[in-house]
Chains A and B, each alone.
Chain A
């Protein structure tokens, strides 16, 4: 059998989203992520209170009509804090992945294309770093740099690029030998042109798919670090930090941890579902 039927590929590129791609998983993922995005973009309009204003008269109030998620030990409205926290946590997820995606892809591209010592060096570094668990490595870096939001980002970037570099490198290695790249070289195109116009568009999709699932990981790591007091510092409303603050009251004011935790979990699930659907779509569409 020949490898492909040209006819059956005619459906390619016709629609951005073919009908088969719209599964319940996909819809649920989109709904959750869109709600999270709205909260992140318009927190001032959604949150009924200022997330940092202390109100001694309303300390540790159980959920009610006035405070649907209740209040914490400083009388701050937990719902408002969670809404404002969305912006921070989604940012950690997004930028914590975007920068490694760009840097890692460039490194992988160059390593695979030029090979030689550059390739060996980069791959050895990434192998060494891969040997450590992700979270341990992030903690180690933050311990060296000190706590804080910026350092949390730097730690995530330093650890994150390797996966992208390896993914892109593997793809470029196979693509390098393909005949259309040879054709581009026969045409006399410069390396930059070949890499950017011919190689990159054909290798980047798997990295983007990985980035979608990596965002969850990144967001959760950000929250964990803040929970441990290594990342975003109170009183900034970040989900991990909120959970940490509520931890001591968990036995008699469980709403302080329950609701932020629930939102964190739902957002994580939403991102995962969307990432999975995207993987499916890209795998089926990108032949």
Chain B
């Protein structure tokens, strides 16, 4: 994760998300059916396009309800997308059946937010990991135990703990087990969904270090979802900012945080509390709250809260467009046109 200068031209695309939508129908009441009201949708992910390059760590940030978790779960095909394409090394997996997907599953794995509930409480660590190894025939049967211990060692867990159950571990150790499980199938692509936000501050750094080390050692491609900008800034190469199901801005981490082009990105960076008691601000970073995804505002999703809103913003939805090399923004009036990019 260390190199800031991440060269995209020489890298191939591992995952390509093209115009992906995941809409959840809103549950209809009897009155709705009787009155023949239109079926309404929660557009959790709405026409999202993203490329994830080989070996990069792409951050996905946004507030709760912005669709970042749904996007991740759709990419990894826990959900069937409503429309769009998901190319994993050129193969479209968007509408594959469970059977077709099975041989591809080992390539993409996931690390979850809540370390306790992401482990089956009735299986020992050994059982959890070896089940994967055996099911996908990753290693010959007689080497399974050895591989389990190797994976645990890689994630900083003593092999003596193999017989223990998830409930016997602390939160940080549980997350290490979760990471070991994700690595068991030698994946190319890992989605880490808020992997540190349920952990204590003193443990977060351990897990971030572990993820960084593993990425370097194994050449992993990671989609790192978080609402903690400080962590994202530290670990990712590029960042995508989501708001109400749309990607608002996408670009290299440093330049994006230093010179946000989208007003929403600017708001996010301003709202995060500064670790300095001598720098206190009095104004809100932004007024108001995220609207409900059922009643989406027309035009730009962000316009009701945007300080720079114009009539064009209220009527027309801006497309995600390139404004500088590797910098994309979905705004009619980007804050700095090419400056600082």
A–B: direct contact at CB < 8 Å = yes
Q: How far is the CA of A187 from the CA of B186 in the complex (A)?
A: 12
Chain A residues with CB below 8 A from B122, complex form: 201-202
User: Do A188 and B118 touch (CB < 8 A)?
Assistant: no
Q: Mark B170-182, 1 if CB is under 8 A from A, else 0.
A: 1100100010010
Whether a CB of chain A sits under 8 angstroms from the CB of B112 is yes
User: Do A188 and B168 touch (CB < 8 A)?
Assistant: no
Q: How far is the CA of A182 from the CA of B110 in the complex (A)?
A: 9
Chain A residues with CB below 8 A from B105, complex form: 186-188
User: Do B167 and A6 touch (CB < 8 A)?
Assistant: yes
Whether a CB of chain A sits under 8 angstroms from the CB of B223 is no
User: Do A202 and B112 touch (CB < 8 A)?
Assistant: no
Q: How far is the CA of A188 from the CA of B103 in the complex (A)?
A: 8
User: Do B167 and A186 touch (CB < 8 A)?
Assistant: no
| Main SS class of interface, A | helix
User: Do A13 and B165 touch (CB < 8 A)?
Assistant: yes
- Looking at A180, A184, A191, A201, the one whose CB has the most chain B CB atoms below 10 A away is A180
Whether a CB of chain A sits under 8 angstroms from the CB of B275 is no
Q: Mark A1-28, 1 if CB is under 8 A from B, else 0.
A: 0101011011011000000000000000
Q: Mark A169-193, 1 if CB is under 8 A from B, else 0.
A: 0000000001110111111111101
Q: Name which residue of chain A comes closest to B181, CB basis.
A: A183
User: Do A12 and B167 touch (CB < 8 A)?
Assistant: yes
Q: How far is the CA of A183 from the CA of B121 in the complex (A)?
A: 13
Q: Name which residue of chain A comes closest to B172, CB basis.
A: A6
Q: Name which residue of chain A comes closest to B101, CB basis.
A: A188
Partner of A179, one of B118, B136, B167, B185: B118
Whether a CB of chain A sits under 8 angstroms from the CB of B8 is no
User: Do A188 and B109 touch (CB < 8 A)?
Assistant: no
Chain A residues with CB below 8 A from B110, complex form: 182-183, 186
Whether a CB of chain A sits under 8 angstroms from the CB of B217 is no
Shortest CB-to-CB span from A121 to chain B, Å, is 18
Whether a CB of chain A sits under 8 angstroms from the CB of B62 is no
Chain A residues with CB below 8 A from B113, complex form: 179
5 interchain residue pairs of minimum CB distance: A188-B105, A179-B118, A179-B112, A9-B167, A188-B102
Complex A-B: 24 CB contacts under 8 Å: A2-B171, A10-B168, A178-B118, A179-B118, A180-B118, A180-B119, A183-B110, A183-B112, A183-B118, A183-B119, A183-B181, A185-B78, A186-B78, A187-B131, A187-B136, A187-B185, A188-B106, A188-B136, A189-B135, A198-B120, A202-B120, A202-B121, A202-B122, A287-B167
Contact residues of B with A, CB < 8 Å? 73, 76, 78, 98, 101-102, 105-106, 108-110, 112-114, 116-122, 131-132, 135-136, 165, 167-171, 174, 178, 181, 185
